[in-house]
Chains A and B, each alone.
Chain A
């Protein structure tokens, strides 16, 4: 439970953080809320030589109404997102999901940037951002680029971010209605055994938590809905083509079953919410 020794640097700006990251990207890690990284370090599953603490960089904690979309600073804490009026009004799915992450302690420390950059298939916010078809704003030595959520989550703890890049902002389209979220766990504070974020606004996007190596879309369900299937029939296909993990909380078979139930419930919620 004691991490291997490391050097700690506190960045005052994105430029400073990127500069230190560039010095030795492979053994340097950004530290935001620390609630994914520090547990790995304590178990010595991660042993970075240098930690660049970005947590106190000013100006990166915001939820802003940008007209057709909402922009969220990478250092926005889950709790700030949960109670943000802008988020509640324009992307209530995101505010709601932020309120479902872990426990109050985690929500007051963890950041949306850290949650997305970590690329954990069991995390909730990536599924919400994927269902909202969000855009990641990434800064790095080669300048700024934007990555669609659909291209961002690559594999287990793997994203489109290069080791020398930093995620600075997330943008999501406004979706005030037509959303549903289902998180199935055994204790309120736990990660999802399976989770579902659904957005139904004309077309339907259904994203799944913990149904594969990374955050995924339930493509078969989405296609069925596009083709006019009813919710129950479409949801029955939620796990098609997916290879969810087996662990102490549930076998792959059980997760497949849960996905069908939870996708149905999330879609029912979404359509009911749309009225």
Chain B
């Protein structure tokens, strides 16, 4: 275990090097093919007629106007399609036995429950014709009152569904020792009680969603192309929901342009294309438009958080108590109710806290359903505890870095059994903090801050810290069972060596931008002594990789990568037996190095894996009972989550006159255990940081009081670009995970989890001498200006 920040650890082989991503030439040159790029002759294009009301009874739907329009082949209301469904749309995570989940159908039957809820579909020869005709469907609505604001919805003043008796879907509690919590708060010298709002976010993947279902001419099968993160889960769910035997569905995810969780779902349009292609015996396709995506694809976050800390006068935290309201939106999508649970265990963050209580109530509103979005539950948890730790530092009059230091789980305490019931695998939190502070010159910044304040400078400096730990590598199947999740968390892999010594790797993980092909080939290259270019990675097609649980929750490497490594080991075991047979020695006398088995002590007697692959293929001379070919499979079910951690430091300049916040410096020290490719880790951290900065400063899905989404274009929904962030200073410590043989943890979500509180803490820090203690996200210039005015009347700020 090491706390020193590393330049890249010197690599013995390919693993650990900054190899350029193998998938990039195709992505950058336009050679990659996305669903929308597929040319499918004779396909019908689907347009979806969507409710313009947040909540309305659908009194009648008349599609006859659309049927008369040019190019239109068919049009259907919800009632027309009611007979197509084997069941309502799936929710795979009923978090409590008594959870409410109103039936959700791809086209609403008689009640539309958010702006964007489908009420009819039109099919035509081109996308333009379908969209023109969609405007000719006559729908009569009877508008109903809408539950828009989350806290108001929780009061049940207005019901989001007329057949529900309450908007409260469930209450889930995790309080291992209630007495201990009460005692800690009763005895606390200092308490902190904060309320934070996690605004809704629009995932805005670069590629919107797209589906194309092609009925196959022979065999009555369906080829489903979808821009999805989860072809395997999708296949099963499509089968159940559409009543098509699962083995007759093949799902292919072509190149997929990002997902961030938003493509970890089973969507109405996927189901519609399938059942309409069945009904019409024609290919049916749909490509989502950007504004459509803003309301028809899930949103992220959407919580009101209340967090309390009980501490002593030195700021040592004894207990954490959390109450959440979580906005489900109008329906439960695939894992909607479970998202807050992914954070439920982490509201004490990186701190050694003895007593813990967490309660979450999921609430329906008449808005787009929420679901997993990069970090899912963990950014929210980290935000709450890291903001609250700063509040605690202010209350006890200590530097934010110091208050963190006093509370860290010590490096000597791992594996650490948390009060919330997790076993943190490994960590050195203070090491990462030290490294991050050094990288950013923390002392120097504090001096500069004091200097500017002393001079009354109009550009105020703020420094914000965020020390985080997250649980990822989803997930041990038994733990998922205890959380009521209806699937497991394993991952499957096959490694086969072809007669020419090339390697095929089949993975159940589903890349959509992360670089799996590169990482998997690097792991195999070192294991089998081939070059990464000689490794072909097959993925994202249920016919080619029939077993898999796909990509989300920073699981691909820790779970899927481990499966790859285990399958390679098994292949090597078999090859060893064959080599021993051919070299006429005992298997134990062989050592493997750079893809070559040689006899210990007489290195001239050797056989390369490639040659063994050929021998195994010809099968002319195999040991008694050995099957031909070098191929092995493994399915890995992790024994624990992995727990990446680190500290991020944001430095902002706030223009006290206008309220504008400039992020001027940013340093991040992350620890994701061993790194397969530090370049890919950098990329994940970069994107993650910006996505978290986006929540802190820019993005919000804004609804008006009637439930209309106002931010449906990129003019109104502000996704930051490179020009909004500085060049990042990245550092890394390496504390391998003991839970998997690769010692890896996961880095896909870490940046997003860490950066949001770092940035908001920095803004509040810049203004703290004026008395500002909180600013709602996104921290817009106007909000900053108003909070300056409210905290310090007469300084020029507005109120």
A interface residues, Cβ below 8 angstroms from B? 1-2, 4-5, 103, 184, 186-191, 193, 248-251, 253-254, 257-258, 261-262
CB-defined contacts of B132 to chain A, threshold 8 Å: 4
Known interface pairs A187-B698, A250-B782; A261-B724 also in contact (CB < 8 Å)? no
A189 lies within 8 A of B721 (CB): yes
A254 lies within 8 A of B698 (CB): no
CB-nearest residue of chain B relative to A251?
Answer: B782
Known interface pairs A248-B702, A254-B782, A257-B785; A187-B289 also in contact (CB < 8 Å)? no
- 27 sampled A-B residue pairs with Cβ under 8 A: A1-B289, A1-B290, A1-B291, A2-B128, A2-B131, A4-B132, A5-B128, A103-B721, A184-B660, A184-B781, A186-B697, A186-B698, A186-B781, A187-B698, A187-B720, A187-B724, A188-B723, A190-B718, A248-B702, A248-B711, A249-B782, A250-B781, A250-B782, A254-B782, A254-B786, A254-B798, A257-B785
CB-defined contacts of A261 to chain B, threshold 8 Å: 657-658
CB-nearest residue of chain B relative to A193?
Answer: B781
B658, B702, B718: most-surrounded residue (chain A CB, <10 A): B658
Residue B780, interface by CB 8 Å: yes
* Chain A interface mostly: loop
**For the complex of A and B, 3 pairs with smallest distance between CB atoms:** A188-B723, A1-B289, A254-B782
A248 lies within 8 A of B710 (CB): yes
CB-defined contacts of B723 to chain A, threshold 8 Å: 187-189
CB-nearest residue of chain B relative to A255?
Answer: B782
What is the CB-to-nearest-CB distance from A15 to chain B, in angstroms, rounded to a whole number? 33
CB-defined contacts of B290 to chain A, threshold 8 Å: 1
Instruction: With A2-B131, A187-B724, A261-B658 given, name 6 new contacts (CB 8 A).
Output: A184-B658, A186-B698, A189-B721, A253-B798, A254-B798, A258-B658
B780 lies within 8 A of A186 (CB): yes
How many Cβ-Cβ contacts under 8 Å join chain A to chain B? 54
Residue-wise, chain B 691-731 has the 8 Å CB interface mask toward A (1 for contact) of 00000011000100000001100011010110110000000
Residue B127, interface by CB 8 Å: yes
B128 lies within 8 A of A187 (CB): no
Q: In the docked arrangement, what's the CA distance between A248 and B697, Å?
A: 14
B290, B660, B715, B782: most-surrounded residue (chain A CB, <10 A): B782
Q: In the docked arrangement, what's the CA distance between A258 and B786, Å?
A: 12
A187 lies within 8 A of B782 (CB): no
Residues 773 to 799 of chain B near chain A (Cβ within 8 Å): 780-782, 785-786, 798
CB-defined contacts of B785 to chain A, threshold 8 Å: 254, 257
What is the CB-to-nearest-CB distance from A254 to chain B, in angstroms, rounded to a whole number? 4
What is the CB-to-nearest-CB distance from A271 to chain B, in angstroms, rounded to a whole number? 19
What is the CB-to-nearest-CB distance from B82 to chain A, in angstroms, rounded to a whole number? 30
Q: In the docked arrangement, what's the CA distance between A190 and B715, Å?
A: 7
CB-defined contacts of B716 to chain A, threshold 8 Å: 248
What is the CB-to-nearest-CB distance from A90 to chain B, in angstroms, rounded to a whole number? 29
What is the CB-to-nearest-CB distance from B783 to chain A, in angstroms, rounded to a whole number? 10
Q: In the docked arrangement, what's the CA distance between A248 and B132, Å?
A: 30
Residue-wise, chain B 112-152 has the 8 Å CB interface mask toward A (1 for contact) of 00000000000000011001100000000000000000000
CB-nearest residue of chain A relative to B799?
Answer: A253
Q: In the docked arrangement, what's the CA distance between A250 and B785, Å?
A: 11
CB-defined contacts of A1 to chain B, threshold 8 Å: 289-291
Q: In the docked arrangement, what's the CA distance between A203 and B799, Å?
A: 35
CB-defined contacts of B127 to chain A, threshold 8 Å: 2
Q: In the docked arrangement, what's the CA distance between A273 and B475, Å?
A: 63
Residue-wise, chain B 178-219 has the 8 Å CB interface mask toward A (1 for contact) of 000000000000000000000000000000000000000000
Q: In the docked arrangement, what's the CA distance between A186 and B718, Å?
A: 8
Q: In the docked arrangement, what's the CA distance between A112 and B131, Å?
A: 33
Q: In the docked arrangement, what's the CA distance between A215 and B168, Å?
A: 50
A187 lies within 8 A of B721 (CB): yes
What is the CB-to-nearest-CB distance from B721 to chain A, in angstroms, rounded to a whole number? 6
CB-nearest residue of chain B relative to A188?
Answer: B723
CB-nearest residue of chain A relative to B710?
Answer: A248
What is the CB-to-nearest-CB distance from B544 to chain A, in angstroms, rounded to a whole number? 34
What is the CB-to-nearest-CB distance from B719 to chain A, in angstroms, rounded to a whole number? 8
What is the CB-to-nearest-CB distance from B788 to chain A, in angstroms, rounded to a whole number? 11
Q: In the docked arrangement, what's the CA distance between A249 and B715, Å?
A: 10
Q: In the docked arrangement, what's the CA distance between A79 and B781, Å?
A: 29
What is the CB-to-nearest-CB distance from B179 to chain A, in angstroms, rounded to a whole number? 48
CB-defined contacts of A258 to chain B, threshold 8 Å: 658
What is the CB-to-nearest-CB distance from B691 to chain A, in angstroms, rounded to a whole number? 15
CB-nearest residue of chain A relative to B289?
Answer: A1
What is the CB-to-nearest-CB distance from B52 to chain A, in angstroms, rounded to a whole number? 14
What is the CB-to-nearest-CB distance from A144 to chain B, in angstroms, rounded to a whole number? 36
Q: In the docked arrangement, what's the CA distance between A1 and B134, Å?
A: 13
Residue-wise, chain B 743-782 has the 8 Å CB interface mask toward A (1 for contact) of 0000000000000000000000000000000000000111
CB-nearest residue of chain A relative to B719?
Answer: A187
CB-defined contacts of A4 to chain B, threshold 8 Å: 132
